Structure 1
Amino acid sequence: MLCLSIVTCSFAQNQSQVKVDIIKKSNGEEIKVKIIRITDAEVSFIYTGETAEYVIKKADISQIVHSSGRLETFSSMGTPANTRQADQITMSATPADHHNKIAIIPFTYLMDNQPGAAAIGLKAQQDAYSLLGQHSAGYKIIDPRTTNAALIQAGVTPEKMMGFTMKNLCDILGVEYIIDGTVTQNKGYSTSTTSTNEDTKIKRNDADKVKGISNSGSSYSSAAQRYDISVSLQIYMDNNASIYNASHKAFLSSTDGSYSAPLEYLLKRCPLYRR
């Protein structure tokens, strides 16, 4: 009996010392398990003392506390889970309310390598927001008006922007990621066209003899300035780390200075884009 007591007591102590993983669900429920694997969309686990394997979608998880003490926080959106793409896992030690939030600051616009109209930088900011907003499952993108208002209220003007680190800006805007961009427009070659129209009229009398010949004509000329367009894009985290830095030039020069094609090209290849 004494031996049995000692064995039972020892087994109970070992059981109490077994470390478990804790899955905190979005509805507030917590389950203590042993995690087997984590994929892009699901987490597989078994209950302590069992062998049956269970699966839970990441969309239903708010946080995992691993047995090692490491935390993984998952983004949660209001759309139905079956319509969402794989959520992004965040493992950086940033404030919880920053996780998976993105702000796009006004783009810099350069015309022939000189500062250009601020309105074009604001337009590029709005266009980037519209393009990325359609492919940002798992992230929340702050709308440009809210972003710009917060920057102005914090005294972050275009002239003073260089005096703030990306971490400073993330703290001001309450986000984990900041997208910064530059649109560069340089004058390329010019094209011109000229067209001429001539009209000749012959007058005849009743005997069908030529009485006279009159000539008239007109010419039209046009010229168009073409531009070489390029866009650069940088993405920073709230610890000042740069996670994306790329540039792309429009394949063809244009007369209207459109930057849409290179901007879309870069956004589709950035780490925050979801297909």
Structure 2
Amino acid sequence: MNLQKSLITIVLIILNFIASNIFAQEKTDVIYMINGETKDGKVTGIHETSIDFVYTGEDLTYELKKSNIQKIVFASGRTQIISQPQVQTSNSPTSTAAERKNKLAVLPFTMVSNDQGLMSEAMSGQIQHAAINSFKKNTHQIIVQDPMTTNALLLKNNLDPNSIKTMMPQKVAELLGVEFVVYGTANISFEGTRSYGSSSTTYKDKTEKDKDKKENKSSGKEFTSNNSSTVSNYDTSIELNIFSDTGSNLYSVSRNGFGNSLDTYDGTLNYLIKRCPWGSKNK
């Protein structure tokens, strides 16, 4: 009798072990949530904005929003992407105050003009480079960031001259890793064109000239040339604002340019930058 009971016990243990292994080896659907959480169970339905899901060992069906789900790995091994995790623009400090000390970055200029050709990204970058060169030449005690570094960091964070205005200046400084940020606006208006002309007459020699005048005729030795040129006129004004990584506005100034050529902005920038807090006029 004891032997029979022992055999029954052994058989039950073996059956329980086999059943446990079968249950353990049963694969489930795994849901990966955007917040990093995972859920094991069975996906019973997929709808436009949600999925139906039953947890392992339960019978109740739950409705999960697709917006909270990154992907589903089904028991078959197939993976279905539901939502791509969004890449967050980092507005948190990416550098320390010590690392930013005495560094300055010039943003691409905001362009204002009645000439669409001057509203281009290329013109904005051209004036940005002119300002950077002027800061390097006409200031002291600051390190001017290379425009390629500045523009690459802006592009990496999906920022342009318009969208960057939605950020506080101190956040922009932290993002670029500088202590000072220069915001610039160039207002260049096309004022039309002006033509200049002149003509001149030359003779082979003075004797022939005097003889022709007396006889009121042309000897064929008279040469007349006409010269004319057309010049485009522009009205230029430049505005500069310099902010620190604490949000303080250290320098705010605007000035109309001297001259009417397209490159008048260059001399205007030099005038303003020489008078900034680190400018050569403030030594």
TM-score category by the smaller chain?
0.5 to 0.7
What residue identity is the alignment partner of 1:270?
Answer: C
Contact 2:181/2:243 (8 A) holds in 1:
yes
Deviates more, 1:153-162 or 1:102-111: 153-162
Structure of larger gyration radius: 2
SS at match of 1:259: helix
Corresponding position of 2:273: 267
Contact 2:104/2:142 (8 A) holds in 1:
yes
From the two aligned structures, give the one with the greater helix fraction.
2
Decide whether aligned partners of structure 1 residues 231 and 154 sit closer, same or farther in structure 2, where only a CA change above 3 A counts: same
Corresponding position of 1:140: 143
Q: Deviations over 1:176-207 (max 9, x none)?
A: 110111122112353212333557999xxxxx
1:1-275 aligned within 5 A: 95-112=97-114, 116-188=119-191, 190-197=193-200, 219-254=226-261, 256-274=262-280, 275=283
User: d(CA) in 2 for partners of 1:136 and 1:199?
Assistant: 53
Query: Larger relative contact order (C-alpha < 8 A, sep ≥ 6)?
Result: 2
Cα distance, 1:96 vs. partner? Answer: 2.4
Deviates more, 1:213-222 or 1:170-179: 213-222
Contact 1:128/1:263 (8 A) holds in 2:
yes
TM-score, reference length from structure 1: 0.55
What residue identity is the alignment partner of 1:117?
Answer: S
From the two aligned structures, give the one with the greater strand fraction.
1
User: d(CA) in 2 for partners of 1:224 and 1:135?
Assistant: 31
Q: Deviations over 1:91-126 (max 9, x none)?
A: xxx832222221111112222386612212212222
What residue identity is the alignment partner of 1:246?
Answer: V
Cα distance, 1:216 vs. partner? Answer: 7.3
Count of paired positions: 175
Cα distance, 1:244 vs. partner? Answer: 0.9
Cα distance, 1:262 vs. partner? Answer: 0.8
Contact 2:200/2:225 (8 A) holds in 1:
yes
Cα distance, 1:148 vs. partner? Answer: 0.8
Query: Hey, which bits of structure 1, 4+ residues long, moved more than 4 A?
Result: 197-202, 209-218
User: d(CA) in 2 for partners of 1:258 and 1:211?
Assistant: 50
Decide whether aligned partners of structure 1 residues 238 and 217 sit closer, same or farther in structure 2, where only a CA change above 3 A counts: same
Decide whether aligned partners of structure 1 residues 248 and 221 sit closer, same or farther in structure 2, where only a CA change above 3 A counts: same
SS at match of 2:264: coil
What residue identity is the alignment partner of 1:227?
Answer: Y
Consecutive unaligned residues in structure 2, runs of 5 or more: 1-95, 209-214
What residue identity is the alignment partner of 2:108?
Answer: P
Contact 1:233/1:246 (8 A) holds in 2:
yes
Decide whether aligned partners of structure 1 residues 266 and 118 sit closer, same or farther in structure 2, where only a CA change above 3 A counts: same
TM-score, reference length from structure 2: 0.53
RMSD (Å), alpha carbons? 3.1
What residue identity is the alignment partner of 2:102?
Answer: N
